Amino acid sequence: MKRITIAMLTLFTLCIAMETAVKAEKKQRILIAYFSWSGNSRGIAQKIQRKTGGDLFEIKTVSSYSQDYSTVLKEAQKEQRSDARPKLKTHVKNIRKYDIIILGYPNWWASIPMPVATFLEEYNLSGKRIIPFCSHGGGRFGQSLTAIAKLSPDSKMGEALSVHYSGGSSLDSDIDRWLSKNGLGK
Ligand SMILES: Cc1cc2nc3c(=O)[nH]c(=O)nc-3n(C[C@H](O)[C@H](O)[C@H](O)COP(=O)(O)O)c2cc1C
């Protein structure tokens, strides 16, 4: 009787250990990669980081953009018209360890800033899920989601979030709802 009890207890412990291992394996590893010129996308990315526990990565260019608004408008337009790929000075160490890339950026001329295009082309993102968020001044996503899908045809696209500038008082709950829709809620 004693032996049977010990055997059953061992089996039970083994089952629990296996279940824990399977759960740990299923946990999705998240990278929050963002580009930001005036800080809005950065602030949103930091909030998402705190909520998901993912790794935060800033997409930075070798040549910096002008701090002057009307000048950066022209710089960005020129890059977009020439379909430029600005050189990046930051690189993700091991992209292979991530299952999900939460990708944040401002709407620039109704699309993605070109450094985001450089980022998407730099890595093999096939099979990974890209979940975009876009900070904007009224134009919401513009053509940015189409641009991302074209640059990463082998990735799965998650439900995207648009945020007006730095977001209003509902930003926290908007992010929570959006994360839940993407299966990343608490
Ligand atoms: C170069 C440039 C182009 C922009 N183009 C648009 C646009 O086409 N539509 C829009 O709604 N907002 C546009 N904006 C406004 C930004 O999307 C908005 O200010 C955003 O919150 C900035 O995010 P950031 O602080 O992360 O850079 C533009 C801003 C800049 C600097």
Domain ranges within the chain, ordered by starting residue: 29-181
Q: Quick one: which H or E segment has residue 131? A: strand 129-136
- For residue 131, report the distance from its CA to the centre of ligand 1, in Å: 19
State the chain's mean pLDDT as an integer.
92
Report whether residue 38 contacts ligand 1, using a CB cutoff of 6 Å: yes
63-120 residue pLDDT tens? 999 999 999 999 999 999 999 999 999 999 999 999 999 999 999 999 999 999 999 9
Distance from Cα 113 to the centre of ligand 1, integer Å: 9
DSSP 36-89: -SSSHHHHHHHHHHHHH--EEEE--BSSPPPSSHHHHHHHHHHHHHTT--PPBS
Contacts of 57 (CB under 8 A, 6+ apart): 31, 32, 33, 34, 90, 92
16 or 93, which is more confident: 93
Instruction: State if residue 137 touches ligand 1 by the CB under 6 angstroms criterion.
Output: yes
Class of domain 29-181: alpha beta
Predicted pLDDT at 24: 45
pLDDT at 18 > cutoff 90: no
Ligand 1 in contact with 107 (CB < 6 A)? yes
**According to the model, what pLDDT value does residue 186 have?**
79
- For ligand 1, what atom is nearest to the CA of residue 107? 17
Interval 37-76: pLDDT, tens: 999 999 999 999 999 999 999 999 999 999 999 999 999 9
Instruction: Give the global pTM.
Output: 0.89
Tokens matching residue 42: 């950065």
Q: Is the pLDDT of residue 20 over 60?
A: no
- Ligand 1, pocket-test mutation among 60, 65, 107, 165, most atoms within 8 A of CB: 107
What spacing in Å lies between the alpha carbon of 126 and ligand 1's midpoint? 28
With a 6 Å cutoff on the Cβ, whether 183 touches ligand 1 is no
Pocket probe for ligand 1: among 47, 136, 145, 162, the residue whose CB has the most ligand atoms within 8 Å is: 136
- Which one, of 109, 116, 107, lies nearest residue 81 by Cα? 109
